[in-house]
Amino acid sequence: MAGMARMAVVLFNLGGPNSLEAVQPFLFNLFNDPAIMNLPGPIRYALAKVISWRRAPIARDIYARLGGHSPLLEQTQTQAEALEDLLKARGHDVRCLIAMRYWEPYIREAVARVRTLKPDHLVLLPLYPQYSGTTAGSSLTQWNEEASKVGLTVRTHKVCCYPTEPGFVKALRDLTAVEVAKARTVGEPIVLFSAHGLPRKIIEAGDPYQKQVEETVAAVVAALGEPRVEARLCFQSRVGPMEWIGPSTEDEIARAGALGRPVVVVPVAFVSEHSETLVELDLEYAHFAQNHGVPLYLRVPTVGRHPAFIGGLADLVERAVRVDGGPSSHINHRICDSVCKRCPHRQVAAA
């Protein structure tokens, strides 16, 4: 990365509907992803049509409570702007772009912009600290497909994960410590690190997500430096009848209520505010906590534009270009635990 080489950074996120009319097609795009439903194409398409039609009324109600659209794009834009500003301050000639998996701006649109920019280096940076084939993996696969369609050739560097990246951990630690101090005005809190759940069969097939979330929790608890803090990992947003990883966030809230303990909820796998934080955590789970005797329910903000988090992202970008070759993380070429057969590094090594 000598001199002023031109660089483009693409930040990947899930995306969200920008109107109530967009809710059903957004859901269809989500459930038609083979990384979400690993079924033959025609069957997956038909099921996605049915599921999106059935879930659309519930989802529209959720987004109506958020002003009629998802705030995720605006959140991601502010992060991209902050990252671009910091990288420029570090001396880089850089443009930061956004690519959403299931709604606008789509990945194919970001591919087109990169072709126009003609950078010397391209860094693909998922805004998912913990790797899963259903999130970062799906986005990176889609990028490869769209880039191949238009013959995009640029020196590309991929960030796969950063579950214990120091800036990310510091941001979570700082934000969590504030809410823990507030909770202690009524008692010693239980700190619930809540992550989006996944069907157990995906984890059992070797997806690294759960283990990496556990690593994040351990790192944040260590950074808090308070042995008396009771921290528990739990999972939210279950959908459908299949078995999901647990324990559930609701069960842990109910347990805290039975003990008469205040609760501090930390969104450990989300870096931006959206429906799972603003509605599920802030409204639905807060109401659930009140009904189950929790004396005080507090929710830690997502890391958003926290300077330590943005600094960590900038470090990841610089490291990815330096390391070169294969997916990278904050510890360069990361190899997950041997049970994580779907770790992207392990898959590259086995190819």
**Known binding site: residues?**
196, 276
In the structure encoding, which two tokens stand for residue 70, read together?
């998802």
CA distance 273 to 98: 16
Please return the burial class of 228, using the count of CB atoms within 10 Å of its CB with bins 0-12, 13-18 and 19+.
exposed
Q: How many other β-carbons are positioned within 10 Å of the β-carbon of residue 64?
A: 13
Q: Tell me the HSE value of 327 on the side-chain side, using a 13 A CA sphere.
A: 23
Please return the burial class of 17, using the count of CB atoms within 10 Å of its CB with bins 0-12, 13-18 and 19+.
buried
Amino acid at 18: N
CA angle, 311 as apex, 147 and 234 as ends, to 5°? 80
Q: Let me know: does 300 contact 286? Beta carbons within 8 Å.
A: no
- The residue to which tokens 């008469």 are assigned: 260
Residues placed in the known binding site for Fe(2+): 196, 276
DSSP 244: B
Helix axes 209-224, 166-183, angle to 10 degrees: 60
Picking from 331, 330, 334, the residue whose alpha carbon sits closest to that of residue 345 is: 334
